[in-house]
Amino acid sequence: MKLQSALTISIITLFAIQSAQAQKDENIGTQVVNVVKPYTPTISDAFKVKETPTLDDDENTKKEEITYNIFSFPVASTFAPAKGRAATVDKEKQLELYDNYATLGLGNYGTVIGELFVTREVGESGFVGGMFRHISSEGGIDGVLLEDGFRDTSLDLIYGSNTNELSWNANLGYQNQAYNWYGLPEFFGSTFVEEDRDAMIGAIDPKHAYHNLNVGTNFEFTDAIVSEVGAKFNRFWDSYGAEENRFFIKPKFAFEINDTRIKTDVIVDYVGGSFDQDLIGIPTASYGFTNIGIHPSFNMVRDDWSIDFGVAAFYSMDMENSDNKFFIYPQINASLNVVGDLMIFYAGAEGTLQQNSYRDFTNINPFLTPGIAVAPTDRQYDVFAGLKGKLAGSVSYNIRGSFASEQNRALFKSTPYFEQLGNENFGYGNSFGIAYDEMTTLSFFGELKADFSKTVSFGIDATFSDYSVDSEQEAWNLPAIRVGSSVDVNITPKWYAGANLFYIGERKDARFMQSTDAAVMLNPVTQTIDGYFDLNAHVGYKYNDRLTAFVRLQNIANQDYQRWLDYQVQGFQAILGASYKFDF
């Protein structure tokens, strides 16, 4: 009875608990559970899965087409944006370019400078142009006994055409230069009484002139084995009967073999001339040289290094003396990017046969005596190595060391001093000749350039050289030190300025002295020409796109230095001028 009562209470309690849990989900519904037998798990037969199952590609790769919809609903907001307006942008005024310009300037010492450049398009691809240049000075250097003015005037004309396949031009030019042999020695006329000395000075006409006429052409081809051809004829003569002709043609070839570009430069260079008289009025022998050269080269580039390997061969014919020679030179340049563009190591060895001419010598030193010797220079080799790169984004550097050997190197050397009446106008030690010698040069070069901003740029460079000659006592008129520096500043959009400073170290020259016996010449005495520095500056104002005014100041420190032995330069110089741009 007690057991039955206990069982009845347990069933009622279990029913109450189930009823309480069922109250949590009113929608559970009614279910009927029929218990058949207890669950007895069994192991089914296993089926081996195929290593390469068969798939129905069409069904397995078929993609469901999905349609995207944006579910949007309004959001209450009190934000009211302000009405938009484009910001103002400061736009620089576009610089208008002009095809032509004219420049005129006037300064002390009676200095006049002028330039005129004009160009015009002809047809669809042609053009024609011309350039006129002039600079002259009346002179007036303190202490100079003879006239010391000069003049340099040139006119160049060009006609050409530019197309996709060919660019070519033909040019014609003429230049006239006038100088004075005013560099008399300090002791000039020391053995004469004052009246005879003045008479001798009055009898000297130091003026001499050079004339140069040239005609040339140049062709550049876009897709051809012959990439470029240049040719030029130059006729040069002076007021003392000297004549010189020079002609050269320079074709260039370029083609590829197995993705390697092969370049070949060819040159045929002729120079020949004669002089009516030398230092003592005797006609000198004529000269003539024809140099035929070929320079093949190819370039290899691999990752961080590149090399340009070539060789130059020349056959030189001395037309007057029937003395023909063959020369071969290295033409090798290599570079390695050590640290990207921050540090690049480069090295090489180069050589060439340099064709000298009377014309080229007068461009360097206009106070030459007629009757100089003209011959080519055998530049055997120039071996060099250096580093270049960037110290910062706007600062670049270049340092280099080299050792060069030259045969028949041309050196400017003062001519003998004859103190007697009736000499040639250039026969008082006031002109220069050419001495040839074997020379080696060890030099070091350094350069630093910086663009501090879009408005300021600066540069400085220096070269230190040590010369060794074989026959001559010194490497005449070659400085051991050269230093140059420049700075340019755009002060405002209207104003700009710049300055440059350079220093040339001391040089050596030879002074030939005549004894009291006119037939006896004493040994030359080495003269030291002091080093000098020169400071120049300019300031300009752009009135508008067309008109610019400028002031140029030269030798600001008013240095009384000599560029060549006994040839003093003008002191402080100021030139005021303007440049005007225009179109037709």
For 146-150, what is the mean pLDDT?
96
For 225-241, what is the mean pLDDT?
95
Percent of the chain at pLDDT > 70 equals: 81
Q: Which residues of 28-39 are buried (b: 16+ CB within 10 A; e: fewer)?
A: eeeeeeeeeeee
pLDDT band at 512 (very low <50, low <70, confident <90, very high): confident
Q: How many angstroms separate the Cα of 165 from the Cα of each of 223, 444, 453?
A: 7, 44, 40
Distance separating alpha carbons of residues 250 and 233, to the nearest angstrom? 12
Q: Which two tokens stand for residue 512?
A: 């030939």
281 backbone φψ class: left, alpha, beta (φ>0; ψ -120 to 50): left
Q: Which two tokens stand for residue 436?
A: 């040839």
Position with higher pLDDT, 394 vs 33: 394
Closest to 226 (Cα-Cα) out of 257, 248, 256, 254? 254
Distance separating alpha carbons of residues 121 and 302, to the nearest angstrom? 44
Percent of the chain at pLDDT > 90 equals: 66
For 544-558, what is the mean pLDDT?
96
Contact 346, 334 (CB under 8 A): yes
- Tally of CA atoms within 13 A in the half-sphere of 142 that contains its CB: 6
Amino acid identity for residue 158 in this structure: I
pLDDT at 566 over 90: yes
pLDDT at 57 over 70: no
Distance separating alpha carbons of residues 37 and 32, to the nearest angstrom? 16
User: What is the H or E stretch that residue 503 is in?
Assistant: strand 495-504
pLDDT of 565 reads 95
pLDDT of 93 reads 59
pLDDT at 468 over 50: yes
Q: Which two tokens stand for residue 223?
A: 């897709």
pLDDT at 29 over 80: no
Amino acid identity for residue 455 in this structure: T
pLDDT of 21 reads 40
pLDDT of 92 reads 55
pLDDT at 196 over 90: no
pLDDT at 255 over 60: yes
pLDDT band at 186 (very low <50, low <70, confident <90, very high): confident
Per DSSP (E only), the strands in 275-394 are 287-302, 305-318, 323-339, 343-354, 377-392
pLDDT at 466 over 90: yes
pLDDT of 208 reads 96
Q: Coil, strand, or helix at residue 148? A: coil
* pLDDT tens sequence across 271-328: 999 998 766 656 677 999 999 999 999 988 888 899 999 999 999 999 998 899 999 9
* pLDDT tens sequence across 363-421: 999 999 998 999 999 999 999 999 999 987 789 999 999 999 999 999 999 998 877 77
Distance separating alpha carbons of residues 307 and 337, to the nearest angstrom? 12
pLDDT of 390 reads 92
Position with higher pLDDT, 78 vs 205: 205
The DSSP-derived string for 413-440 is: EEPPB--STT--TT-BS-SEEEEEEEEE
Count, residues in the chain: 584
Closest to 465 (Cα-Cα) out of 404, 414, 515? 404
Q: Coil, strand, or helix at residue 59? A: helix
pLDDT of 112 reads 98
Closest to 351 (Cα-Cα) out of 326, 317, 383? 383
Q: Coil, strand, or helix at residue 475? A: coil
CB count, 10 Å around CB of 316?
20
Distance separating alpha carbons of residues 327 and 333, to the nearest angstrom? 20
CB count, 10 Å around CB of 59?
7
β-strand 287-302 against 567-568: which pairing, if any? unpaired
Q: Read off φ and ψ for residue 327, nearest 5 degrees.
A: -130, 145
Q: How many angstroms separate the Cα of 486 from the Cα of each of 115, 454, 501?
A: 24, 16, 6
Distance separating alpha carbons of residues 357 and 289, to the nearest angstrom? 10
pLDDT band at 222 (very low <50, low <70, confident <90, very high): confident
CB count, 10 Å around CB of 259?
5
pLDDT at 471 over 90: yes
* pLDDT mean across residues, the chain: 85
List CB contacts of 253: < 8 A, sequence separation 6 or more: 225, 226, 227, 263, 264, 265, 266
Distance separating alpha carbons of residues 374 and 244, to the nearest angstrom? 11
Closest to 384 (Cα-Cα) out of 459, 331, 429? 331
pLDDT of 54 reads 42
Distance separating alpha carbons of residues 371 and 355, to the nearest angstrom? 18
Distance separating alpha carbons of residues 287 and 298, to the nearest angstrom? 36
Q: Read off φ and ψ for residue 506, nearest 5 degrees.
A: -65, 155
pLDDT of 79 reads 41
DSSP state of 375: -
Position with higher pLDDT, 577 vs 454: 577
Alpha carbon 526 to chain centroid distance? 37
Q: Which class for 70: exposed (0-12), middle (13-18), buried (19 or more C-beta within 10 A)?
A: exposed
Distance separating alpha carbons of residues 250 and 269, to the nearest angstrom? 9
pLDDT of 322 reads 87
Paired strand residues for 567: 564
Best mean pLDDT range from 67-76, 173-182, 414-423: 173-182
CB count, 10 Å around CB of 552?
19
DSSP state of 544: S
Largest CA distance in the chain: 176
pLDDT at 63 over 50: no
